[in-house]
A and B are shown apart, each in its own frame.
Chain A
Amino acid sequence: MTDTPRRRASDDPDYVHPAARPFLFLGEAKVKRNFIWLPLAGLVIASVLGVFHPAKHPAPWETIGGTPIPGSWAIFGFLAYSLIVFAAGPLFRLLGRREDFYGEGGLPDPDYSTDPMLVPPAGDAPVGKNAEDFPPQPLSGKAHSVDDLPEDGR
């Protein structure tokens, strides 16, 4: 046996590992939609607890008039995370290039990747420089149903 991938996809397109069956609800749209309440609840509880257990050694920017802010790390974490995510768009436009930009075959391995970039549809010869010139193509393999599509339409 070598280190080359062993895909061995099941013949059954609805195959589910026995251990995963009790957790299939995690893939339901309703559960995904309502998942947001879990971190929100955690955030509220942790922030309320911050009132009773303030930071012992707060940084100057974690205090107002010398009083520690109970949810300072919550505010910081939310803002920091949002900033990082919002930076993604401009960064992608700035740094994103075609996968074969360096002429070394890109990151996917041509031996086994299912990347459509490596096997472009007939008549769709890639042109352009930036990765944005290449809108996402349908994945090879099992066809997607509408229900499978994520909310962002990917």
Chain B
Amino acid sequence: MTDALPLLAQINPGLWVILAGLLAALLPVGPARKALAIAAPLFAAVMIFDIYDSTEVLAGQFEIMGVELTTLRIDNLSVVWGYLFCLAGLINAIYALHEDSWITDSSALVYTGAAIAGVLSGDMLSLFLFWELTAISSVFLVWQGGDRAYHAGIRYLVIQVLSGVLLLAGAVMFANSRGGDFMFDYVGLDAPGGWLLLIAMGIKAGFPMLHMWMQDAYPKASITGTVILASFTTKFAIYALARAFPGTDILIWIGCIMTMFPVFFAVVENDLRRVLAYSLNNQLGFMVAGIGIGTTLAMNGVVGQVFVHVIFKGLLFMSIGAVIYRTGTAKASELGGLFRSMPYTTVLCLIGAGSIAAFPLLAAFVTKAMILSAALEEHLWVPFAMMLFASAGVMEHSGIKVPHFTFFAHDSGRRVREAPWNMLLAMSLAALLCIVLAWPWGGYELLYSIMPYPTDYKPYTWDHVVFQMQLLFAAIFAFTLLKRFRLYPAERRAEIVDMDILYRKIGRGAAVWADAVWTRLSARMSLGRGKAARRLGRRLYQAFSPAGALSHAAPSGLASVMTVTVLALVLVFAYVAGR
């Protein structure tokens, strides 16, 4: 089906973006790099559009060491992620226009390209290659956050690379069970290597207990770095899960737990970028649960949710990034009242907050409802309740907490300028998409047109709008009521420990203790060895030296006994050997 494709169309479009990133690393001229950063994702999108014709396209196939690779596959699933990552790359590039850093420009392009190439890969070895490339290229964005981000970057890299290693191990086991076929399709947990693949993808997707890298690294990256990071890695993993594990029951529960636990961390967290990182984790939970449900409605909901999530989550990260850019902090305890000096950013942030909270006419209203409806259709009452609970939590941390403590609450007294024009432009584009993709009159149908399965789901029904508004108004009312009675906790500076305490504190302490024990033990052992050697030497000297015991004249009786014993041993040996 693809033999007739021209050579250009045989190349994975993500590779062009990676190439642009490598070129950007060599370009000393800032504006030229910026032009590349904008043009490359656009070009990749054009290439995807040119190659994809609504049927599955397999291309770029070649054999290496007996393994058949398919470096390009565009079908109804991967095409959505392909377009989405191109769009995110474009918006991120606009947002980063103010930043004159070749490291950011080149690593962002390579990272974007690797993510595009990864989702458009047809086989698991290509997937692994780009899986690792996203990790390696993106760590520079973390390190751009300054010295304080160094250790977080190292931890991020180790965990991401570990995820890749597990992915490769699982892929090899899975391919071996299929006679060496590395094609990336449905895997399931019963297949050899299935669990390894699930854990590998789970690390990148932020499964519970495997999620800490996100809240550790994202808030410490540079302003633009966080925005870029939030767009790709986790959504790449969601794509892999949607491809390999649709309808896997355990994902429903993993996803539901993912939606709930970040809510409790976000409510006590002071750093708003970290709050958004928890919020990101929570949103990924809806997607994972949807993949676990696996019906056509659920998978459509997942695809739609991924698409709008990249946009509204990016918008929220961008607005807080703009605040950091102007105020120097993202801590709720130090912010407040910024609507006076950053009114446009305030409005754009509110649109992002309304989108993530699923207000009618805003992005997630359509897509999150599809996942919840899919749970209802399958009579998954408990997961439905968990996701509904988490929806109230989303309203708390992203819908209310982030905009309230940043732009309203008490006046922090900061009088700053509005965000730079490029940031406002990028945020405006994202905000516009948040509205357009949920617009009742033809807007959400645009989203439907890229979903993998045909759907006639109607989001704007009376009961859906009414009950969603009940949930949202109830949450806002509870907030205002708790504030009025001073029951809402004040934002306090603190480090909120998460599971990463296991390796950052306990594990590190154990390693330091083991090192100290080893140092002492090796000193003791060295001392013991010396003593033993000296004792042995002394014994040998006492036995064999000219003054030793064996040099003394032995009594003739003893000498004859010894001689007879030796001869007897020789005779026994000769007898046994001669038999």
Contacts and interface: CB of A to CB of B under 8 A. Distances in A.
| A complexed with B | yes
Interface of A: 1-3, 5-10, 12-17, 19-20, 23-24, 26-27, 33, 35-36, 39-40, 42-43, 46-47, 49-50, 52-57, 59-61, 71-78, 80-82, 84-89, 91-92, 95-102, 104-115, 117, 131, 134, 136, 139, 141-144, 148-154
Nearest to A139: B334
A40 B472 CA distance: 11
Contacts of A59: 376, 381, 384-385
A76 B482 CA distance: 16
B567 interface: no
Contact of A89 (B329, B388, B489): B489
A36 B264 CA distance: 24
Interface string B242-285: 00000000000000000000011101100100100000000000
A77 to B, nearest CB: 3
Given A96-B492, A96-B494, A141-B412, A17 B326 contact: no
Contact of A105 (B96, B147, B478): B147
A84 B489 CA distance: 11
Interface centre among B339, B410, B470, B504 (most CB of A within 10 A): B470
Given A17-B342, A117-B493, A141-B413, A87 B331 contact: no
8 contacts: A36-B484, A72-B467, A77-B472, A85-B478, A88-B267, A88-B268, A102-B505, A151-B486
B471 A77 contact: yes
Interface string B383-396: 01100110111011
Contact of A7 (B99, B381, B416, B496): B416
Given A50-B470, A85-B267, 6 more contacts: A1-B100, A40-B477, A59-B376, A76-B389, A99-B494, A112-B328
Nearest to A137: B493
B417 A78 contact: no
Contact of A115 (B224, B331, B343): B331
Contact of A15 (B98, B327, B393, B415): B415
Contacts of B488: 85, 152
B224 A3 contact: yes
Contact of B222 (A3, A15, A77): A3
B463 interface: yes
Given A104-B152, A131-B492, A73 B468 contact: yes
B418 interface: yes
Contacts of B516: none
Interface of B: 96, 98-101, 104, 144-148, 151-152, 219-220, 222-225, 263-265, 267-268, 271, 274, 324-329, 331, 333-334, 336-337, 339-344, 346, 373, 376-377, 381, 384-385, 388-389, 391-393, 395-396, 408-418, 420, 461-463, 466-484, 486-498, 504-505
B285 to A, nearest CB: 15
B98 to A, nearest CB: 5
Given A143-B413, A148-B413, A87 B267 contact: yes
B148 A110 contact: yes
A100 B384 CA distance: 39
A77 B466 contact: no
Contacts of A7: 326-328, 416
A101 B497 contact: yes
B493 A99 contact: yes
Contacts of B496: 92, 95-97
Contact of B463 (A9, A54, A109, A152): A54
A57 B263 CA distance: 27
Interface centre among B263, B267, B384 (most CB of A within 10 A): B267
B482 A109 contact: no
B99 A61 contact: no
Contacts of B475: 77-78, 80-81
Contact of A85 (B334, B484, B489): B489
Given A46-B466, A150-B410, A5 B325 contact: yes
B44 to A, nearest CB: 25
A39 B477 CA distance: 5
Contact of B334 (A5, A46, A114, A134): A114
Contacts of B334: 114-115, 139
A5 B146 CA distance: 12
Nearest to A24: B340
Contacts of A86: 487
B381 A10 contact: no
Nearest to B490: A154
Contacts of A24: 340
A104 B494 CA distance: 14
Contacts of B96: 3
